[in-house]
Amino acid sequence: MQPVALPDGRRSDNEDERALVAALRRGDEDAFAEIVRRYGAPLLRLARTFVRDQAVAEDVVQETWLAVLNGIDRFEGRSSLKTWIFQILSNRAKTRAVRERRSAPFSALAGDDEDDEGAVDADRFLGVGDRWAGHWAAAPADWSRLPEERLLGQETLALVNAAIDQLPPRQAQVIMLRDVEGWPADEVSAALQISDGNQRILLHRARSKVRAALEQYLSEEGAAT
């Protein structure tokens, strides 16, 4: 299904979405194939941040698609179609995670990983009594001089993905949508149904942890060469 084009040849996202929703409501199989093509892979990646088992995550995605087909007539357009689909996935994945007992209870999930943890380990800063207490004891590594192929190598990217897998669920969900999928902050907040402030905190914590893992890897690799 081709996006709707404006008279000057530009594509209108709003017109494209309205046409897509209308086609879905008519039962157009090509329209359904299009949304599966667009969102199938990121839906599965998001589901894996709620449930660790691949088969369970795939079941959640299938449940989401069924809910989309059954609920498309009730879609009111208050959010984008994409956000609405990911909200459905988020809600079903939360429920499934509790059922599978593979993550925290629902009440903890709803708390958005709010705790008192620091984004950066305290031992990275100078302690009380030092003239420069609270300042970096060892500043973050400067990666600007590293070769691009080293930063973007398969082993490095695999390490980043592994670090994301180790994050608390909410942090993993936010960094996956923001930094892996490239979503803007407001869409992430809407899809995960969290506040903008909470989204910023979770993203900062997640990025700090992933950076720490990457920093350790690059320093160890540099020492070995």
What are the residue boundaries of the structural domains of the chain, listed by start? Answer: 13-109, 112-224
Instruction: State the sign of the Cα–Cα–Cα–Cα dihedral 212, 135, 168, 186.
Output: negative
Average pLDDT, the chain: 79
Q: Mean pLDDT across the stretch 191-220?
A: 89
Assign a CATH topology to domain 112-224.
Arc Repressor Mutant, subunit A (1.10.10)
Q: Is the pLDDT of residue 156 over 90?
A: no
Identify whether the C-beta of residue 16 lies closer than 8 Å to the C-beta of residue 4: yes
Q: Which CATH number fits domain 13-109: 3.40.50.720, 1.20.1250.20, 3.40.30.10, 1.10.1740.10?
A: 1.10.1740.10
Which of 104, 6, 8 lies closest to 52 in space, CA to CA?
104
Element (H, E) at 174: helix 169-175
pTM for the full predicted model = 0.73
Element (H, E) at 152: none
Q: Is the pLDDT of residue 177 over 90?
A: yes
Q: Is the pLDDT of residue 56 over 50?
A: yes
101: left (phi over 0), alpha (psi -120 to 50) or beta: left
Strand partners, 11: 5
- pLDDT: which is higher, 211 or 134: 211
Q: Mean pLDDT across the stretch 153-168?
A: 83
Q: Mean pLDDT across the stretch 91-107?
A: 73
Residues with Cβ < 8 Å from 140, sequence gap 6 or more?
A: 211, 215
